[in-house]
Structure formats: C-alpha cells, structure tokens
C-alpha cells in the first residue's frame, strides 16, 4: 500500500540531485523503484513534478508516494564474499553460480546486493553506503560483478558501459568440438511474445559475439566469449545458434550438468575517479575444477 510522505530538505544540505537525496533518505528502497516513482510523476518538489536529475536545496518541500513494504533491497546480510578489489569508489566481486545479484519479489534474501550492503557498512560511522549495481549477471552465471560505492562512481562507470568502453570476457564450456579456432557470431536477438522467449529473431536487434577456442576436450570446448553488444541472454543464444549450446543450458539444448557453465572471467574499464585503466579477473579454473571433481 502506498503512502504520501512529505519531506522538507533540511537547512545546510548542499544542492543535491533529487534521486540521490531520495536514495539517501529511503535506504531500503531500490534505485529502480525510486526512479519509477519519479518517472510516474508521483513525486513533487514545491508542487511540481521534476525529473531525477533535478537539484533540490534547503527548505524545498518534497511530496512523494511510496510503498514502504518494498523496503528490502538494501537489507544488510552477513554472507561470505569473494572480493577481488575494493576502494572508496567501487568493489569488485567474484559471484558464485546460484546467487541472485539483487532481491526480487520471490527471493528477498541471500543476494549479492544484501551481502555487499552488509560488507561496505561494517564499522561505517558516516552516511549509509548504498552499493549500486552497474551491470548484472544471471543467477546461474558466475564471475566478475562491479558495484559502485558512490552515486558519482555509479554514473561514471555506467556511462562507460553505455558507450561500450567496457571490455568483458566470458568463459563458456560448450557441447561438441567447435571447428574454427576463432570467429564472430552475428545474429539478431529479439523476444517472441507468444512464448515470452528470447532467441535469434529476424527482426530482432543486431547482436554480435566474438569467440576464441581456449581448450578442446573429448566432447566439449572451452570458449572465450567477448560480447560486442549486450542483449538479453546473448551468449547463451549465440552458442546455441552455432550448434554448440552451453553445458548445463538445458532450455537451449545443452546437456544436463550441475550448473550453467558460463563464467564472467574478465572485465576492464577506467577508474571513475583517477581514470586509470583497470582490469579484473575471476578464477579462470572454475570449470576445470568441476571436471576434476567428477
């Protein structure tokens, strides 16, 4: 149930983006939800609907309609994390397969966001730190995930993603022997409304994935995949399209396995503050260890 909440911006608060002010005030609500509320014109500043980038200042009156029962996205939970890198601006995690990156209506606990929220606020005596997801991995996919620790860092890194300045490399164990040592898969991807399924579609959006064979085994191939575009389920769809579905991807013809064998191995981008080039890697031997344990 929604309720109308009135907030007067306190004296001494510097001019701040409306989005950042609301996120700081309602720490348990997700960024996506607050953005939707503002876009749906359920938030007024001094009697006017403003966008999320509007800068509020001291004594402004904000009136907003919120469903506070959705206050769960930033619930801190003590969960073990595999941290690759961390500084004042960002944190890089090696996410295990089977973990959601953020809470949903069905699964409200045990997610990466719950765990990181707990971690970055341990012993924090300042303002509540709201880690921001800049990109996502499917629940079944493991590997590198980057989260921002400040709103400014989030905007700058997200901007690099939008401009395709970020380089990502995945590892995928696929069925069969991929004949070519390297190549490029160009196949448009779209959603079939009748089945609600994403797949290669003639009138879909242009999609491209580059690949290179890393290892060949008896009946599987380990591929390095570089998505040029970022469509929904792109890597899974493109591997199936060339006749080599990812091991564990049963819905797309892959053999049954204990997990989906897709792993976000490397990511590279520029630091949101200093601008230096950064590259992070997750454990490359993840599938080798699985094979050896069987």
User: Looking at the annotation, which residues are catalytic?
Assistant: 138
Helix intervals (H) in 142-254:
151-162, 234-241
The CA distances from residue 228 to 170, 184, 197, 214, 219, in Å, are: 12, 10, 22, 19, 27
Please state, as a whole number, how many other Cβ atoms lie within 10 Å of the Cβ of residue 249: 25
- Helical packing angle, 18-25 and 151-162, nearest 10°: 130
In angstroms, rounded to a whole number, what is the distance separating the alpha carbons of residues 152 and 281? Answer: 24
Instruction: Please count the residues of the chain.
Output: 294
Q: Exposed, middle or buried, 191 (CB in 10 Å: 0-12/13-18/19+)?
A: middle
In angstroms, rounded to a whole number, what is the distance separating the alpha carbons of residues 161 and 147? Answer: 13
């Amino acid at each position: 149930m929604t309720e109308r909440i009135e907030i007067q911006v306190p004296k001494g608060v510097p001019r701040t983006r409306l989005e950042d002010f609301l996120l700081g005030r309602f720490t348990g609500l997700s960024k996506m939800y607050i953005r939707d509320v503002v876009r749906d014109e359920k938030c007024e500043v001094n009697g006017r609907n403003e966008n999320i980038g509007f800068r509020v200042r001291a004594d402004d009156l904000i009136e907003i309609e919120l469903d506070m029962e959705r206050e769960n996205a930033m619930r801190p939970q003590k969960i073990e994390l595999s941290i690759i890198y961390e500084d004042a601006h960002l944190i890089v995690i090696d996410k295990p397969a089977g973990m959601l990156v953020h809470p949903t209506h069905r699964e409200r606990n045990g997610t990466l966001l719950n765990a990181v929220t707990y971690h970055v606020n341990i012993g924090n005596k300042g303002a509540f730190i709201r880690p921001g997801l800049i990109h996502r991995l499917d629940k079944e996919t493991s590997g590198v995930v980057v989260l921002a620790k400040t709103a400014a860092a989030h905007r700058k890194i997200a901007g690099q993603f939008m401009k395709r300045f970020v380089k990502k490399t995945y590892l995928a164990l696929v069925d069969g022997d991929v004949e070519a040592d390297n190549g490029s898969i160009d196949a448009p991807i779209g959603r079939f409304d009748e089945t609600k399924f994403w797949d290669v579609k003639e009138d879909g959006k242009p999609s491209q994935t580059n690949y290179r064979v890393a290892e060949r085994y008896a009946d599987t191939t380990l591929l390095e995949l570089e998505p040029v575009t970022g469509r929904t389920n792109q890597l899974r769809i493109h591997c199936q399209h060339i006749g080599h579905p990812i091991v564990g991807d049963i819905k797309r013809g892959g053999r049954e396995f204990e997990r989906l064998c897709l792993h976000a191995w490397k990511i590279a981008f520029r630091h949101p503050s200093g601008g230096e080039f950064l590259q992070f890697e997750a454990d490359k031997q993840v599938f080798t260890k699985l094979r050896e344990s069987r």
